[in-house]
Structure 1
Amino acid sequence: MTQMKSAIGKLKIFSFGSNSRCQLSLPTGEDVSVPTLVGKQFEVRRPLEPQHLELVSNGNHTLLRLKHVVYSVGDNSFGQCFQSPSTEPIRSFEPVSQLLPANMTPVKIAAGWEFSVVVYENKSTGGQAMYVAGTGPRGELGLGPNVRVCAQQHVVPSFPPAGRRINRLAAGMSHVVAVLDDGTAYGWGNARQGQLGPEHVACRTGVWAPAAIALPDGFSPADVACGTHFTAFTSTSGQVVVLTSKDKHGVITDVPEQRGLLRSGWTSLHMLQGTGDITSWGNNSHGQHRPEQAPKAAMMACGSEHTIVLDRDTERAVYAWGWGEHGNCGQQQDGEQQRQHVVVTMPRQVFSVDSQDGHTNHRIVYLAAGCAASWIFMVEDE
């Protein structure tokens, strides 16, 4: 019997928020407070596998990994979009054009303030290589002592170690952490605030190449999330370990007992439980913590100081809260004061599939958030 091929569908991307360098893949260069359809659309095979879709956004640039291709958009002053450096931003998603060794496919991406990381995997051997581009004044590129700028993509030497694979990858503004398949963790970049563990705090100018991070005995990391000055790990059993030397916002002292999917903002942490409830801790100066009125969530994405979620009951509406100065939490609503527009403490509905002309037969498959930026991905129902 001939096996039926999976159907082809259009992936439609809506973005809103900070767009000064066109990092939303909207060419106007102006902030947007209404989710706006990105001009570039992509064909995907349905069902779309979750591991084939990933978007990361930091500073003023964005990376999109869609199965076997990485796309970039936004500020490219230092080559952080893996394109030739230019003072002119990239205004819509463009495939990374620089040449790679044959038979390599991207499997992980991360973005810091002005640098980017892509992990490629050899489809034949399973071996991995990590490439970086951009600028990192505290070792964020991981290329060795005092390598601050890499205008063309460059492979990080001897990482991951021979025979090892990167299972998880995350970046804060100025540091990067990788969790390997043997349960070890490595980090590089800014370490002064203890985000790479106490053993690296003395590296005042940064950790310039991937270095092992000491974790508690018996702790096996399953996932990692990076804030500005901390790194948070979850274990295979759901335990949380947070690394920072100055617990200014209580990200260590207020770790909850609940277990779930961990995500990070600049100064706060958020955990999506299997029940759809969200537990938030850390800084709440901009309404980052989950409001009591928030719906149960089927998906969650955390940006610099805001959160967006997919309503679990309908799976057709998206809500936002937190710091929304650039429109990343939607439009100011009638009756709201100006501060409420900037600091959204009540869950605000920012998107509904049913309100999109011609798209009511679509479903939301992915959410992403970055530096005052929000993203919603839809595909047509099968």
Structure 2
Amino acid sequence: VVLSQYNKCASLRCFCQGANSYGQLGQGHVEDQASPRLSNIAALQNRAVRAISGGGGHSVVITESGEVFVCGQNNRGQLGLGRNTEISTLQHCPVLNRRVTSVACGWDFTLLLTDCGQLLACGSNAFGQLGVGQAVTHSAELLVVESLKEPIVSVAAGLRHSLAVTGSGCVYQWGTGLFSYAKRALSPHAVPSHLTSKVPSLVPGNINCTELHRVTAGAAHCVCLTEDGDLFLWGSNKHSQLTTTEPFLSSPTLLKRSLLDGEKVINVWSGWTHIVAQTESGRVFTWGRGIYGQLGRQVLFNQDTEQQSAGPGAEGRSQEVGLPAEVKDLHGATQISCGSEHNLAIVGGCLFSWGWNEHGMCGDGSQANVFHPQLVPGLRPLLIGCGAGHSMAKMCSVSSSW
């Protein structure tokens, strides 16, 4: 989203909160912050910002002019700076005469999409998530994903896998992050090639016969939104995020529009184990895992499946029935962003947060999980973004509306 409101700003400010072990909040230190605190954005020099995003321990800012600024964890080269040292304030990342329009951050890798549809990647390639083949284990230099010959219009990064949509409506997937889920669920049958490939592999199915809008990814699931407002889902269904009884879907499967009261979807976002979708009337639906409050609403539980779904150490927890339901407090949201298990939204110009809060990423000064969207007082952001365990909000210090 390009924000024309920046033209009215005297100066930009960035407030961040949450996990900061690697300096991903850009505040010049490595202490977690449970309340919003100003970040050092001197490097931006009041440039208008197009997008902000984060991974497991790093943050990326894209300016309206297509420049890239980064900070945080860099042990696998995910900052694209040509070296592996961590930095705790934003630093310019040279992108060689390319204009970057969007970014997707995985756990320890970064994907950058340019205005000509070229895809650049850096960071860990341990699971083939960079799409450059298995010879590269990690890269601190930005690499071109050469095998994608068509211009890319949307890109997504999961925990250890990646997705891209081409201008002709094809979906590609790479990275082996879903392989173990698929092998268990599909045995004795072979795992399809798009779930095992370390270079972009065409995703099979009817999804390639429609006009595609964008992709998003969870830790082990995939989502694609069409221009007609339909959602296709595939991957792991461990937390009912695919709204099916099957444990795993190897190919894209249409989400029944009746589950969203018959409405078309205009945007979709994904955390690691939950999905958030907004319909044409402005309603917001959530589904998937909800034990940390990441669904923003009351959920139903099935005590019989709590151990097998939540895994070791999950005593006392239970697994929700994962059908989409509306979060009325988010109606009319103008922006939404998902971290691993927490979320931000702008509603009526105000910032709301909910979900996992162990590192204070919900910005309420505590570390208690937040089960319903709550107002983060005093902040009226223009742009929001999440990392796995941190939150970022851009705003201007002078605005005609405040």
Which TM bucket (shorter chain)?
A: 0.7 to 0.9
Structure 1 unaligned blocks of 5 or more: 1-5, 122-126, 334-340, 354-362
Does 1:91 pair with 2:85? no
Matched, 1:173 2:159: yes
Shift of 1:265: 0.4
Distance 1:138 1:200, change over 3 A: farther
Superimposed CA distance per residue, residues 345-365 of structure 1 (whole angstroms, 9 cap, x where no aligned partner): 133222324xxxxxxxxx521
Match of 1:130 among 119, 124, 128: 119
Which is strand-richer, 1 or 2?
1
Q: Which residue of 1 aligns with 2:370?
A: 344
**Contact kept in structure 1, 2:74 and 2:86, CA below 8 Å:** yes
Q: What are the equivalent positions in structure 2 for 1:179-258 lying under 5 Å apart? A: 179-190=165-176, 191-192=178-179, 193=181, 201-202=191-192, 206-216=196-206, 218-244=209-235, 246-253=236-243, 255=255, 256-257=259-260, 258=263
Q: Given the two structures, how large is their TM-score scaled by the length of structure 2? A: 0.77
Superposed displacement of residue 205, structure 1: 8.9
Return the letter of the residue paired with 1:141: L
Contact in 2 for aligned 1:200/1:207 (Cα 8 Å): no
TM-score by length of 1: 0.81
From 368, 372, 379, the equivalent of 2:389 is 372
How many residues end up aligned between the 2 structures? 338
| C-alpha contact 1:272 1:300 (8 A) present in aligned 2 | no
Q: Does 1:280 align with 2:297?
A: no
The 8 Å contact of residues 284 and 330 in structure 2, kept in 1 or not, is answered as: no
Is the contact made by 2:173 and 2:194 (CA closer than 8 Å) also made in structure 1? Answer: no
Aligned-pair RMSD on alpha carbons? 2.6
* Highest RCO, 1 vs 2 (Cα 8 Å, sep ≥ 6): 2
Partner of 2:399 in structure 1? Answer: 381
State which of 102, 126, 145 in structure 2 corresponds to 1:156: 145
Query: How far apart, in 1, do the equivalents of 2:223 and 2:152 lie?
Result: 17
SS in 1 for 2:240: coil
In the alignment, residue 25 of structure 1 is paired with which amino acid? G
Contact 1:262/1:269 (<8 A) preserved: yes
Cα distance change on mapping 1:294 and 1:287 into 2, 3 Å: same
Q: 1:84 to 1:145 in 2, by over 3 A?
A: closer
- Code of the residue aligned with 2:339 in structure 1: it is G
Q: Where does the alignment leave 5 or more consecutive residues of structure 2 unmatched?
A: 1-6, 245-254, 298-326
State the secondary structure of the residue aligned to 1:23: coil
- 1:8 touches 1:43 (CA, 8 Å); kept in 2? no
**Map of 1:56-135 to 2, 5 A cutoff?**
56-67=53-64, 68-86=66-84, 88-97=85-94, 100=96, 102=97, 104-121=98-115, 127-135=116-124
Residue 357 (structure 1) aligns with: none
- Cα separation, 2, equivalents of 1:169 and 1:322: 25
Deviation digits for residues 143-178 of structure 1 (CA, Å, limit 9, x no counterpart): 11342222322222242x1xx321111101111111
